[in-house]
Structure 1
Amino acid sequence: MLDDFAILFLALWFIVVAIFGYSAYWAFALRRVLMQHLYRRQASWVGWMAIYFVAISTFLTLALSFNVNLLPVNILGGLLISSGFIVLFFWIDSTIRVARRSDPLYRDSGRWSKLRYLWGIATIGGAIGALVDSIFSGFTTVAPFSGALLFGAITLLLSAKRSGDPTLRVHLKWMGLCIFILWLGNQIIGPLFNIITDAYLVETIALALVGLSAYSLYRSARSLAPIGRLSRIEAAGLGPGPVAAGSQ
């Protein structure tokens, strides 16, 4: 029988998955009506990343809840986690380069153009290591997301301040927050296990941060369309409902 923390964890997981799914819905709905190629591409990124987060959070929750430690499950978990390392990096890298082009002074935030290759190599190495660890030791032993994620989040937030595009500026801010909170949620699991013995409580705390990350991803999707454009989208039946003034 599940204890209270296990029930809370599963309930929170359902909410997190729903928010990620809602983010994907909004992103793909916006992509259908946005005119600028740049915004359409960013909406696609958000939509596909939201789907990825739904997939990996569902897999991890089910595998951990049923304590599955079979080799095929570890291989699948390793592939999901290691691919996440790489896909997240390309999402960040692509967006930072777009942000730089939107800066009137074309500033190289965080010296990303010079360090991106180093971070890319580190990310690929981390992905390979994650897959190997997952196969031989189980996917639960895989190290959390690397510092590339943190540095990417900081660079995105800095780029948001420098962007000359008001819409992109808000999008970058929410995306940077999404990635930073996601990184934080991964990093705190180890320290929490040192002071908390209940695994479900630890995972619930981490999942709460993932929920905040999911909300930030949702806001990053909505930020790609101004209020007036969102109203036209909803009037056309593509959005989920009326938008309150000031929701941006």
Structure 2
Amino acid sequence: MYHRPRLIPCLTIQDRGLVKTTKFSNPRYLGDPVNAVKIFNGKGVDELCILDITATSENRGPDFEYLKDIASEAFMPLSYGGGITTLTEIEKLFYIGYEKVIINTSFILNPQLIKDAAELAGSQSVVVSIDVKNELFGKRYCYINGGSIKAKEDPVTLAKKAEELGAGEILLNSITYDGTMKGYDLELVKSITAAVSIPVIACGGAKDIIDFKKVLEKGGAHAAAAGSLFVYYGSHKAVLITAPEENDLVEIGVYKM
């Protein structure tokens, strides 16, 4: 049997369309998210992460009708983030077929929601998302509201807080590396994995499966998420919904005996 760390396509949606951003800006329309899910069904991916990137900034909750359509086509575990502010919304997401909820802005504005969600469904179903931007003099700052509002605490402090509140995982997303396909921010990932005992999902910057290996081995991440790697092909970023072949992952050492 192979040891298989989780490799997670992270699909960002806006106005019911699949989009891909660069540094959380300039969303490029790529097609229908439901079609992408159908393709991933045949690729054997471990789980899918669905993020509505404008729900919070538009001051609305999850689009349950559309999210239900997506879930009805998915044969793999699903997580969802975007606009979640209440326990009722979390319950509804579980009801329509999502295994995990991803909470970013409400983690800062209403930390009690993390506690309540963990008590409701168990820590394994609650993921706190921490979005980080590298700024002057090597400083890193966390952002909420789709990357538009700076939070007071630094990434390590927030990661520890998420664990204390009962989150079962951290989705660590680099705004600076998002969509650049230049590799993960390994130093950022290492700083978080060293600070908490819960699993850390690294996201932002993956170009190829070698980047998966690096972030898992050198960064200490428990799982590797990516957007561009799963939706683009080639240097000109032609749209192609795809996933790495298992043989290639074994050969390069991402999957190990």
Shorter-chain TM-score category? under 0.3
Scaled by the length of structure 2, the TM-score of the pair is 0.27
Which structure's CA Rg is the greater one?
A: 1
Structure in which a larger fraction of residues adopt helix: 1
Q: Which structure has more RCO (C-alpha within 8 Å, separation ≥ 6)?
A: 1
Give the TM-score of the pair, scaled to structure 1: 0.27
